[in-house]
Structure 1
Amino acid sequence: MMMAAWKIAPAIAVGCSVVVKPASLTPLSAIVLGEICIEAGVPEGVVNVIPGSGSVVGNYLVEHEKVDKVAFTGSTPIGKDIMARASQTLKRVTLELGGKSPSIVFEDADVDAAVAGSLFGIFYNTGQSCEARSRLYVHEDVYDEFMEKFVAKTKQLKLGNPFEKETHVGAVISQDQMDVIDGYVKSAVADGAQVLTGGKAANLEGYENGYWYELPSSLKQTTA
């Protein structure tokens, strides 16, 4: 919803209509946002939400001659495909693609604040965010103190239903994403990393059909 709002607000502010094609696995928040726009008095037809697959709905929008601009947040391979398709009609394109964001903790850092920021930076939204800070570079002078506090705080985070106030980390979006996470962990361990917390699938009582990874997971001394 937040990413959709980032794209919708500037467009309607300058007088443009918008067609939002949400991610196939997460359409509901965009639909709710569309309903909010209607309730707020946005004229009919200005903000349109069309769920569907990227290969059908997404490609149609990117290639359609009446669409003047495409803004996309997602993976680098899909971004390349969108740019190629949009070039056929010389559309303006804005791409926010995947990355691997680090947190850097210097020797003069407030360690407690750095720990709190690092926890939020990676475990917010179950780590399913393009700006999630999935790597930590910590100065050797504060490394031991930082890691001790980071691991202790990580172990206190609760995995569970995000509608429950005591929950800190929710489920992963799909089995495919579970497999990706598990593959990263196994690859890191094979390269010499040590698992400090988590590192395997979890089974939550009452939510056996959900996609739960034993988060929060943290590893140290991975290779570059």
Structure 2
Amino acid sequence: MNQWYYADDARTRIGPLSPDELREHYRQRRLRRDSLVWCEGMAQWLPLERLAVELDIDSITPDPAQPPPLPAAGVMDGAPMQRAPVRKGMSGCLIALIVCAVVAVPMIAILAAIAIPAYSDYVQRAKIAQVMASANTLEMAVAEHFARERVCPDNDSADLAPLLARLTREPHIGAVRVGTLEGGHCAFEITLRGLGAQDGKTLLFEADEDASDWDCSGGDLPARYRPIQCRPTPTST
């Protein structure tokens, strides 16, 4: 089961917590929907609001008897944050800044040519991290079905139908196929969407013999967009 962490308003990391414990902290108003949360497999911390579907947050009503999280530092007891006085006069700084700006224009263009593609890759990886969080939920559902029925589920399995319907409503999941591979292992494949050049690419998740451990290196999504643990192992020639 995934272990979750969240950051409180003092930026203190709280965890590890099970999904149920995380939901209980939300009910107790110890974190808000804009609080940052993370679990293994996610590329970055995300607001709880972004993972509300996976964690079933919408079904929980925060306890009105509990106080909300403390406000951010600097706004305690109604005292406004003190601002530094505005300095008057720029002396020679303005001239120096103008000279630097003129010299820096070509350098900015070069850095932009490098940074824009890197930022685009970062955005893609962040979106795929959301898909990975949803895949963790499906892994647990498939494992529970296998433990109960001793056979792999498929898209027609009644206990998976609500989850599959919810997943395909997510912005970056185009389709989900659940079934059994030729070797007899349970597996599911997620087809991506809303990712530009990566639309239609797939992630394949294959379970071991008792569906207790998963390999997420399958599918044709390029390795650079995957979490490290889901990147295919290079083969030697």
TM-score relative to the length of structure 2: 0.31
TM-score, reference length from structure 1? 0.32
Q: Find the structure with the greater CA-based Rg.
A: 2
